[in-house]
Amino acid sequence: MAGGGFSMDTQVTATNVGSKLTFLIIITCIVAASSGLLFGYDIGISGGVTTMKPFLKKFFPDILRKAVGTKVNMYCVYDSQILTLFTSSLYLAGFMSSLVASKATTMFGRRNVIIMGGIVFLAGGAINGGSENISMLILGRVLLGLGVGFTNQAAPLYLSEIAPPKWRGALSTSFPFFLGFGIIVAGCINYGTAKHTWGWRLSLGLAVVPAAVITIGAFLITDTPNSLVERGKIEQAKKALHKIRGSSIDIEPELEELIRSTKIAKSLQQEPFKTIFKREYRPHLVMAIAIPFFQQVTGINIIAFYSPNLFRSLGLGHNASLLSAIILGVVNLASILVSSTVIDRFGRRFLFITGGIIMFVCLLAVSIVLAVVTGVDGTNDISKGNAILVLVLMCFYAAGFGLSWSPLTWLIPTEIFPVNIRSTGQSIAVAVHFIMIFVLSQTFLTMLCHLKFGAFLFYAGWVVVMTLFIIFFLPETKGIALDSMHIIWGKHWFWYRFVKGEDGEGNHP
């Protein structure tokens, strides 16, 4: 694909260096990627819990009265800033911890930050399960957010650094795969516990299980060679390379390149957060901000959070609305699996563009159906048949997202940055991700109440913008070694003017 405005140069592919896919790499990546369970479990659990009558009766009785009694606009049943704060407080905390996680991953290593995130998330899950008031709920959510902020920073970075260039796309999609799997598990738990008065406690409290599994698993894997070299642990890095690349592979060239790149980066003696704002890193910074921003304005996480509320409002019963969340999760997970099989064959840009087209068509169709069936003011009742039609359209939308923006948002920021600012770049990407989720989750139910079907048009418009952005500004990165990634920016029709020095050459190590 051209849109990047260049032809692929063989010197940047470097797929023969450490290209062997060993059993240990697979196991190590599975353990690290399972950190996505934490984020996915929370996304899936919060929306379902907020439709449970015992939960609403204890914490949000006013919403329960609107849901089962008073006749109100179907779009406005769950419009409550306190209810949305229950969901969004986690992401504000995640935003704060993701900034701290940048230095933590540099100082303590990727693996150790995953362990820290798992422990903090476990504490948050325990507090949420035993909550007796709103304050305890919010405290638990904040701890969950701190844990997710650490793991979302460290795990994708770990996967990108540990994987051979030839397999980096497929292995990196394992993080969003586990994220999607966590959503499904949470949906099933909500469905099974919804009828019990203590069901919401079990749903929230079971967050300790994936946290414990991930924390224990992280103790059993090695840190990335990149991180070990960065911290001066050369012998440990050598052992790690031998383990993950296989005993038959000569790891010396790769180790020497890691040492060389790290020495050059350290010799610059610059603060990473200052370095990343230099002109030569402008394309990297733009991508770190734009890609997670655009992923959130697709509306997918908002729909994932509030799909039970949304389908309950659209006329489906309580159990059916919880089941709809599971269906959306299964479709999303299946499409992520499809993406993992083709991402290193067709490339990142092809999937971005294809997914964007599918999402736009589906969002436009949903808004038209809702406008016709419920009326402009949203006061007409919607039949179960039309509610199911909306669900089907949303399934196609989830498939388009799972094929593209779900895995690629976690992959692209981890593979485009040079070693001296890689952790910082990932930190910025995760921070943007969390702050956008916070803003959108805090405002979505109010926006739905006021814009009604127009909320889906809002997201459809953004999908058009982001797809055009990919077409014109994102070069293809498949199969390119991390240390050679800077070359693609120098060949891009727009970004070359930023990454080239006065001598016409790049300024990267």
Q: Which domain holds residue 132?
A: 10-499
- Is 134 in a helix, a strand, or coil? helix
2 is a domain residue: no
Greater confidence (48 vs 94) lies with: 94
Confidence of residue 80 (pLDDT cuts 50, 70, 90): low
161 is a domain residue: yes
Point out which residues pair with 506 in neighbouring strands: 500
Q: What pLDDT does 344 receive?
A: 87
Please compute the mean of the pLDDT values over residues 145-172 and round it to a whole number.
86
283 is a domain residue: yes
Cα–Cα distances (Å) from 82 to 86, 197, 332, 444, in that order, read 6, 22, 29, 13
Closest CA to 38 of 99, 128, 106: 128
Please compute the mean of the pLDDT values over residues 417-427 and round it to a whole number.
84
CA distance 413 to 405: 12
415 is a domain residue: yes
Point out which residues pair with 500 in neighbouring strands: 506
Q: Does 301 score more than 80 pLDDT?
A: no
Tokens coding 90: 């986690």
DSSP annotation of 419 reads G
Closest CA to 88 of 152, 44, 136, 145: 145
Greater confidence (205 vs 321) lies with: 205
* Whether 84 contacts 47, CB under 8 Å: no
Confidence of residue 183 (pLDDT cuts 50, 70, 90): confident
Instruction: Work out the mean pLDDT of the chain and round it to a whole number.
Output: 82
Which of 5-14, 106-115, 229-238 comes out lowest in average pLDDT?
5-14
Please compute the mean of the pLDDT values over residues 149-158 and round it to a whole number.
90
Please compute the mean of the pLDDT values over residues 350-364 and round it to a whole number.
95
Residue 134 one-letter amino acid: I
CA distance 128 to 38: 14
Confidence of residue 4 (pLDDT cuts 50, 70, 90): very low
* Whether 72 contacts 216, CB under 8 Å: no
Confidence of residue 408 (pLDDT cuts 50, 70, 90): very high
Number of domains in the chain: 1
Q: What pLDDT does 79 receive?
A: 59
3 is a domain residue: no
Tokens coding 456: 């889906």
Which pLDDT tens digit goes with each residue over 311-334? 665 556 667 777 777 888 899 899
How big is the chain, counted in residues?
509
Q: Does 271 score more than 80 pLDDT?
A: no
Greater confidence (447 vs 283) lies with: 283
* Whether 419 contacts 412, CB under 8 Å: no
Q: Would you list the DSSP string of 203-232? A: HHHTTHHHHHHHHHHHHTSPPPHHHHHHTT
4 is a domain residue: no
207 is a domain residue: yes
Q: What pLDDT does 14 receive?
A: 43
Confidence of residue 504 (pLDDT cuts 50, 70, 90): very low
CA distance 18 to 108: 25
Confidence of residue 29 (pLDDT cuts 50, 70, 90): confident
CA distance 127 to 302: 24
Q: What pLDDT does 338 receive?
A: 93
Buried b or exposed e, range 428-462, using 16+ CB within 10 angstroms = bbbbbbbbbbbebbbebbebbbeebbbbbbebbeb
Q: What pLDDT does 16 receive?
A: 43
Q: What pLDDT does 268 receive?
A: 61
- Whole-prediction pTM: 0.76
Q: Which of 261-265, 266-270, 309-313 has the highest mean pLDDT?
A: 261-265
* Whether 321 contacts 306, CB under 8 Å: no
Give the sign of the dihedral formed by CA 272, CA 25, CA 36, CA 351. positive
DSSP annotation of 506 reads B
446 is a domain residue: yes
Q: Does 285 score more than 50 pLDDT?
A: yes
392: exposed, middle or buried (Cβ count in 10 Å: 0-12, 13-18, 19+): middle
CATH number at 460 reads: 1.20.1250.20
Q: Does 7 score more than 50 pLDDT?
A: no
Q: What pLDDT does 331 receive?
A: 92
CA distance 266 to 286: 24
Q: What pLDDT does 326 receive?
A: 85
* Whether 156 contacts 414, CB under 8 Å: yes
Please compute the mean of the pLDDT values over residues 436-450 and round it to a whole number.
78
**Helix spans in 314-347 (H):** 318-346
Please compute the mean of the pLDDT values over residues 480-484 and round it to a whole number.
80
